[in-house]
């Protein structure tokens, strides 16, 4: 019980109660009442202490206006960032990431996953690296695109990753963060080969034309903390997502799903979303990017879904395809960088909070 012995608040409570006990010792009735009070104080304190001791995996869905920047702080205090948002805008996205990290008590990024080499995911890297140290860099390998823009983004990444430790991953690889199981399910166009239950949603499923872009190469990860499971597939597109769940669901069910590709309808097939059956989905859409009504409806109709939270109000969704305002971090016309923050316990319970209005809900 060293924890309590070192706590001055506990010592004060204990001393006051002991003194009360001594003073009341001449009277049996008062003595009993005081003992009762002491035990109540103790149980109250123990409850508080166990709350303070609860270790959580915290996930910050940082608003980068239609890109990705998902910052996780592990129970062991390590940090994992998935993507860096956009460049430009006077360091807007780098500042938002660093701000979230500092508020979470983090002074470096231990692990950075770059899902793929598009400007809304890796574009902000240079600005970010100038503001906070990054230790490990995770990627899918060389970009498959040949445009000057993407090749420049890739070259910029290679240069910065060479200053840290670079890890090019493939499905089945795991990232060695303490207390978590972080498994790569997709990378460089390949899908995990692990086994799963047959997926009835695959019957008659339609595939789309092959996607030659770097989206289809996205690193997709499943993050498990005890009973809590969180899926982030970057900007993976339709056919590659189907490879993960058809004919068998190689992912299993998850608690939380970051809607693939900002909630665009070129991603997020029902055969995937409905098979992983998230309790909660978070959509990292911008006001005018992602959040397409078709993709939104696939998520909203997913069996077992309790809530969908949005980083932005989606202009495309209008009144019909947006969630209740209290679960949207940034309303129409807002460029204020509010985020959705999630805190998960290893028993599978988690709480989601909207940083704009403080509204939160437990699951
Ligand atoms: Zn994107």
69 and 43 in a single domain? The answer is no
Q: How far is the CA of 128 from the centre of ligand 1 (A)?
A: 17
- Residue-level pLDDT at 43: 54
Whole-Å CA distances, 264 to 259, 277, 291 = 9, 18, 6
Q: How far is the CA of 48 from the centre of ligand 1 (A)?
A: 41
- Residue-level pLDDT at 45: 52
User: Which residues, chain by chain, have CB under 5 Å from ion ligand 1?
Assistant: 120, 235
- Residue-level pLDDT at 334: 84
d(Cα 334, Cα 97) in Å, to the nearest integer?
18
296 and 347 in a single domain? The answer is yes
239 and 217 in a single domain? The answer is yes
223 and 284 in a single domain? The answer is yes
22 and 69 in a single domain? The answer is no
- Residue-level pLDDT at 9: 46
32 and 171 in a single domain? The answer is no
Tell me the residue range of the domain where 38 lies: 2-53
- Residue-level pLDDT at 194: 96
Q: How far is the CA of 120 from the centre of ligand 1 (A)?
A: 5
Whole-Å CA distances, 233 to 95, 215, 272, 299 = 24, 10, 11, 15
- Residue-level pLDDT at 37: 56
pLDDT digits (tens, 9 = 90+) for 309-342: 999 999 999 999 999 999 999 999 988 899 999 9
Residues of the chain whose pLDDT is less than 50? Answer: 1-11, 13, 16-17, 20-21, 24-30, 49-52
- Residue-level pLDDT at 352: 98
- Residue-level pLDDT at 22: 52
Q: How far is the CA of 68 from the centre of ligand 1 (A)?
A: 6
Q: How many domains does the chain have?
A: 2
Does residue 122 lie in a domain region? no
Task: Name every residue whose Cβ is closer than 8 Å to that of residue 85 and which is 6 or more positions away in sequence.
Answer: 62, 64, 65, 67, 68, 69, 92, 93, 94, 96, 97, 120, 121, 123, 124
15 and 62 in a single domain? The answer is no
Whole-Å CA distances, 60 to 100, 203, 285, 304, 314 = 8, 36, 14, 23, 20
The answer to whether 115 and 219 have CB atoms below 8 angstroms apart is yes
186 and 307 in a single domain? The answer is yes
224 and 352 in a single domain? The answer is yes
30 and 177 in a single domain? The answer is no
Q: How far is the CA of 263 from the centre of ligand 1 (A)?
A: 10
Q: What is the DSSP string of 193-257?
A: ----EE-GGGTTPPP-S---SGGGG--EEEEEETTEEEEE-TT--HHHHHHHHSSEESS---SEE
Q: How far is the CA of 252 from the centre of ligand 1 (A)?
A: 24
Does residue 131 lie in a domain region? no
d(Cα 133, Cα 249) in Å, to the nearest integer?
38
292 and 336 in a single domain? The answer is yes
pTM for this prediction: 0.86
Does residue 148 lie in a domain region? no
Q: How far is the CA of 286 from the centre of ligand 1 (A)?
A: 10
- Residue-level pLDDT at 69: 98
Does residue 86 lie in a domain region? no
């Amino acid at each position: 019980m060293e924890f309590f012995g070192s706590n001055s608040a506990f010592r004060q409570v204990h001393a006051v109660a002991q003194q009360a006990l001594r003073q009341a010792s001449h009277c049996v009735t008062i003595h009993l009442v005081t003992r009762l009070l002491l035990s109540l104080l103790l149980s109250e304190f123990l409850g508080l202490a166990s709350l303070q001791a609860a270790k959580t995996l915290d996930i910050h869905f940082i608003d980068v206006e239609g890109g990705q920047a998902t910052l996780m702080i592990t129970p062991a205090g390590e940090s994992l960032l998935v993507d860096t948002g956009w460049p430009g805008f006077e360091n807007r996205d780098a500042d938002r990431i660093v701000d979230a990290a500092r508020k979470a008590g983090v002074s470096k990024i231990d692990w950075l996953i770059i899902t793929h080499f598009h400007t809304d995911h890796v574009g902000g890297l240079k600005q970010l690296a100038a503001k906070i140290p990054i230790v490990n860099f995770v990627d899918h390998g060389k970009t498959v695109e040949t445009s000057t823009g993407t090749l420049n983004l890739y070259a910029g990444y290679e240069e910065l990753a060479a200053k840290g430790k670079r890890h090019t991953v493939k499905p089945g690889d795991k990232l060695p963060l303490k207390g978590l199981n972080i498994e790569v399910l997709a990378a460089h166009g390949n899908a995990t080969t692990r086994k799963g239950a047959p997926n009835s949603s695959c019957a008659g499923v339609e595939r789309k034309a092959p996607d030659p872009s770097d989206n289809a190469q996205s690193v997709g990860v499943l993050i498990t903390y005890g009973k809590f499971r969180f899926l982030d597939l970057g900007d993976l597109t339709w056919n590659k997502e189907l490879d993960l769940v058809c004919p068998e669901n190689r992912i299993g069910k998850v608690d939380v799903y970051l809607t693939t590709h900002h909630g665009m309808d070129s991603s997020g097939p029902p055969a995937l979303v409905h098979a992983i059956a998230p309790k909660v989905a978070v959509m990292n859409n911008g006001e005018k990017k992602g959040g397409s009504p078709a993709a939104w409806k696939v998520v909203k109709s997913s069996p077992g879904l309790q809530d969908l939270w949005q980083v932005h109000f989606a202009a495309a969704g209008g009144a019909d395809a947006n969630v209740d305002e209290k679960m949207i971090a940034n309303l129409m016309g807002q460029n204020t960088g509010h985020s959705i923050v999630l805190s998960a316990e290893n028993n599978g319970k988690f709480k989601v909070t909207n940083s704009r209005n403080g509204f939160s809900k437990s699951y």
